[in-house]
Structure 1
Amino acid sequence: MFELKANTAQSVKNDVLSGLTVALALVPEAVAFAFVAGVDPLVGLYAAFMVGLITAVFGGRPGMISGATGALAVVMVSLVADHGVEYLFATVVLMGILQITAGALKLGKFIRMVPHPVMLGFVNGLAIVIFLAQLSQFGLAGEAGWLEGTTLQGSVIDVAWLETSNLLRMLGLVALTMAVIYFLPKFTRAIPSSLAAILVVTGLVIGFNLDTRVVGDVAAIAGGLPQFHIPSVPFTFETLQIILPYSIILAAIGLIESLLTLRLVDEITQSHGNGNRECLGQGLANTVTGMFGGMGGCAMIGQSMINVNSGGRGRLSGIVAALSLLAFILVGSAWIEKIPLAALVGVMFMVVLGTFEWSSLRIMNKIPRSDAFVLVLVSGVTVVSDLAVAVVVGVIVSALVFAWNNAKQIRVQRSEHDTSQYYTVTGPLFFGSTTAFLTQFSVSEDKNDVIIDFLGSKVCDHSGLEAIDTLAERYLKAGKTVHLLHLSQDCKNLLKKAGNLVEVNVIEDPRYLVPVID
């Protein structure tokens, strides 16, 4: 069940080294997202450890990394500010229970309803978000940014930039990190290039005593083991009213980001994860995390890309990343705090370059305009709002475009057969095509005996049934007899108003069987 055993010694080495690399990148991210949520850095670090470990063991996608994320942190801000951190822990527990319920109901399969342009928009938008999140590392904390007095004041790009010498030093170290990551694989893959880059830049800064910010300047990460802790909140209906809306939003965002990241890792590794199992794993992780003083989390696309690109494919990589992070908290904090922020920023910039779907820019003029619009829309909404809203908006717009295009495919061909008027219907009949369907019949001009053949048509919803019923009533009021051929059983059962005027060819009626796929 746990799939801890790797196939070869090489895969074990890859998983261990990539897991260590991911753990180093998890530290500043967890601390930063804790600050975003307004909680102590250890709350973010504990979440990264527990969510990462539990999802690595029980989740549905080996090689995918989970932890505290910015998409969830921005939702938690107002809850923590208004009610305190204990309500956050209670919210995370309820969030996990909702995610377990989603997994038990096998709702993970619905991620396949997300169209490819939405997936591209999600990836591009998230790459931009990851890039923008790194800009604060080039600024002075607590000082007004260069956009003070404008509508963008306080945004992620409103940074009080470092003075020139420090800024240039920071940029140089970032560039060196990126260069090592890019060129090292051309010579050897014995060690993950991201880990090598962090070690090289850290050694350079320590060896030459360069004046640049390190992890320890952001926050102290030393701490003990997370302690079991039932959230100190009143167990009342009023408390449920407070935490339930937040729990629903967090559960939705967490599952959407996790399942979309799962799909992305599937494509990169040419393998197949289990969406429903991932829902269960995420739910279990958040339920436990809330009981141990963590801020909750979900899959992290940046760290997942670092892991996969560093050779991490098995569950062992996620386990090593989580346990290494715990080791950093317990005994290795003094070393980790010496890592230059520039090295970690460089790693994340390479993640941005690898995550962004550059091919989407080349195909803009080759795909339908509607798909291009959805791609750009989802990217933009991901940046200015959040992932869940962006995906929902993208799916809705894609569904409306699909409905509009399919509504134009309904065709009704009119002909005469002896004493009867014969109509042949082709194309889907649903809410979007009912108006076009009804306008193609000439009730007043038709003969008294009318035959309408639905063999080439599929009645998709109740609106289609109502359109057929409306048409039958029109012929009834005109004193004419209408025969409806090749309707499915559900159509026959619902067409009550037509009464005995409806004649159905039972022998040739198709049965529309829709397979249920878990």
Structure 2
Amino acid sequence: MALLRGVHFRNIRGDLFGGITAAVVALPLALAFGVSSGAGPIAGVYGAIFVGFFASLFGGTPAQVSGPTGPMTVVMAAVFTQFCAIDPVQGPILAFTVVLMSGFFQVLFGLLKLGKYITLMPFPVISGFMSGIGVIIITLELAPLLGHSGESSVMASLQVLPENILSYQPSALLLGILTLLIVFLCPKSIGKIIPSPLIALCVGTLIYVTLLPDGSVPVIGSIPSGLPEFIFPAIQFELLQDMLLAAIMLAALGSIDSLLTSLVADNMVKDQHDSDRELIGQGVGNMMAGLFGGLPGAGATMRTVINIRAGGETPISGAVHAVVLLLIVLGAGPLAEDIPHAVLAGILIKVGIDIIDWNFLRRLHRAPVFVVVLMLLVFGLTVFVDLVTAVIIGVFIANVITIKHLADIQIDSIRVVADQPDNIDQLSAREKEILVAAGGRVLLYHLEGPISYASVKGMTKKLTNSQPHDALMFDLTSVPLIDVSTAMAIENIMLEALRANRSVYMIGMNDPVRSVLSQMQILTRLADEFIFDQRIDALEAAYQRISLS
């Protein structure tokens, strides 16, 4: 495997232009995400630099641009608040150590080749938590929009909202409304040349600097310039469980966010990304961000789309985007100190609105009741509890219902046949003739499709309620695979039949089915003369045996 996937210089002009354009879009978002996280504006820019550079070079989606995103910032804000509340001095270091750990987990996901499984999440769960994250971002930015300091949680923001509305700062609110008008109403023709968030950032800051008195509106304030400092990781063992949980949550969310963006990039460039390699690249980027005080990041859909539309095709464009941001940090940090919080809040409110799954919400009334309830449950848990709980509960409920539906289908496909074999189309005329001639003494247990643990109870019940017989046949000809639970259920039914002095036959096992039954030592219960590849041969042998008895 090549160290750098998709790197070439045949599109260098497009990659340079795409990278520069993506950096212009990323700058206001990175500053806003940094402020929103509590780690400071420079942490957002550092996150865009490190995640953007290393994820591009070592990732598996050549045209993808990575950096801080809304979902990742929401989780990072909770992590930063949690550990700083416990230990104000070591809290920031612990939070960035969590970022480092999350990157390690992402690399581990990639090495274990889990990429193809990461996005196998039910749509109502994804829709619910993405819409929930959008609402969280909007709610948390209402206070800065009104000229007040932001709160750390949705409930706290809602509790102080009436007071903030009554005591709003007119100048801040006007700047925020102006920002929202620009990002929503900016013509697409202009937005293709200069991104609307950058226009809003420049216009809002220029109005503050030229027309408003100093101190009338809260601003970013002092921003460090120069190269980032190395942060030596720290772990407090009494907090290790909380740190691991937060790191796994960041890793899982970042992986989902990145791979969903990879699918968008695939559709635009008509290529196929390498999921496992993308996870490794994202992990390396987040590890470096954690070591240098940057926010965690993921594949950023808007920046990736803009990069591709501007001509970016290879990892060079993502790397250029990071280098441009680094140059801005080295030379233009003081220029960002007068950016009003209300302007950043307006930009982030637009981000939050875009994250909400409006496409699905518009059709919510047409969806099945279960899907609606699951989506709203995950949405509510995301907003008012936490993302981890929302995803775990949502996936669990969705999987239980899905397994129940599959089990019903599997049970319906099972046929128990004695002397009336017309309900199985697969039987030949001779096979039906034998079953009729046996007069019910041969019971054919026909299974079809993959059989899992979920259908074991129904499978056992069907056989338990069957008529008396002398020979029991398990017809597995149409079964591509079984699991251990099914194999053990077959053994229990088999042993019960053997104890009743009935003959038991196994028919038509393919290699995967035979492997499971052999590994569980179930086939050792039967002599070779009772194991057949063809159903007709087993029926002939059984009929001959009962005729002689």
TM-score normalized with structure 1 length: 0.81
Write the distance in 2 (CA, Å) between the matches of 1:99 and 1:255: 5
Say if 2:21 and 2:306, in contact at 8 Å, map to a contact too.
no
Letter in 2 for 1:16: I
1:500 and 2:527 aligned: yes
Residue in structure 2 matched with residue 484 of structure 1 by the alignment: 506
Query: Any stretches of 5+ residues in structure 2 without a counterpart?
Result: 420-434, 537-549
Is 1:178 the equivalent of 2:178? no
Work out which of the two has the higher radius of gyration on C-alpha atoms and give 1 or 2: 2
Q: Write out aligned runs for 1:336-347 (5 A).
A: 336-347=336-347
Aligned to 2:443: 421
Task: Find the counterpart in structure 2 of residue 19 from structure 1.
Answer: 23
2:476 maps to 454
Deviations 1:475-516 (A, max 9, x none): 12322212222232124313157433982223689xxxxxxx
Change over 3 Å in CA distance of 1:229–1:445 after alignment to 2: closer
User: What does 1:46-445 correspond to in 2, within 5 Å?
Assistant: 46-61=46-61, 62-67=63-68, 69-83=73-87, 84=90, 85-141=92-148, 154-155=156-157, 158-159=160-161, 160-161=164-165, 162-163=167-168, 165-166=170-171, 168-181=173-186, 184-186=187-189, 189-209=192-212, 217-231=219-233, 239=235, 241-242=237-238, 244-269=240-265, 270=267, 271-292=271-292, 294=293, 296-299=295-298, 301=300, 304-306=301-303, 308-309=305-306, 311=309, 313-314=312-313, 315-316=315-316, 318-409=318-409, 410=411, 411-416=414-419, 417=435, 418-419=437-438, 420-442=442-464, 445=467
Query: How far is 1:373 from its partner?
Result: 3.0
SS at match of 2:530: coil
Query: Which letter does structure 2 place at the counterpart of 1:289?
Result: A
Residues 60, 276 of structure 1: CA spacing in aligned structure 2 closer, same or farther, 3 A cutoff? same
Q: Which has the higher helix share?
A: 2
Q: Structure 1 residues 355, 210: closer, same or farther in 2, change over 3 A?
A: farther
Matched residue type, 1:217: V
Q: Is the 8 A contact 2:475 2:535 kept in 1?
A: no
> How far has the Cα of 1:404 moved from its partner?
0.3
CA contact (8 A) 2:136 2:383 kept: yes
Q: Distance in 2 between matches of 1:228 and 1:4?
A: 31
**1:334-363 deviations in Å (ceiling 9; x for gaps):** 322233444433333333343322221233
Return 132-141 or 395-404, whichever deviates more.
132-141
- How far apart in 2 are the matches of 1:170 and 1:227? 34
Distance in 1, matches of 2:151 and 2:347, equals 27
Deviation sequence 1:20-76 (CA, Å, 0-9, x none): 1211221121133134xxxx6655554443233322332333333223723133124
Question: CA 1:498 to 1:345, structure 2 compared with 1: closer, same or farther past 3 Å?
Answer: same
Tell me, yes or no, if the aligned pair for 1:91 and 1:243 is still in contact at 8 Å.
Answer: no
Shift of 1:11: 5.7
Aligned alpha-carbon RMSD (Å):
3.6
CA shift, 1:130, in A, is 2.5
Gaps of 5+ in 1: 146-150, 234-238, 510-518
Give the 3-state SS of the residue equivalent to 1:163 in structure 2: coil
Which whole-Å CA distance do the structure 1 matches of 2:416 and 2:446 have between them? 5
Give the conservation status (yes or no) of the 8 Å contact 1:135–1:157: no
Give the percent of matched residue pairs that are identical in Structure 1 and Structure 2.
Answer: 23
Aligned residues: 488
- The one-letter amino acid paired with 1:503 is F
Distance 2:528 2:468 in 1: 16
1:359 and 1:466 mapped to 2: Cα distance? 46
Task: Describe the SS at the equivalent of 1:432.
Answer: helix
Aligned to 1:148: none
Match of 1:516 in 2: none
Distance 1:347 1:368 in 2: 35
Residue equivalent to 2:35: 31
Q: Please, which moves more after superposition, 21-30 or 123-132?
A: 123-132
1:473 corresponds, among 489, 495, 498, to 495
What SS is found at the alignment partner of 2:219? helix
* Alignment check: 8 A CA contact 2:127 2:375 kept: yes
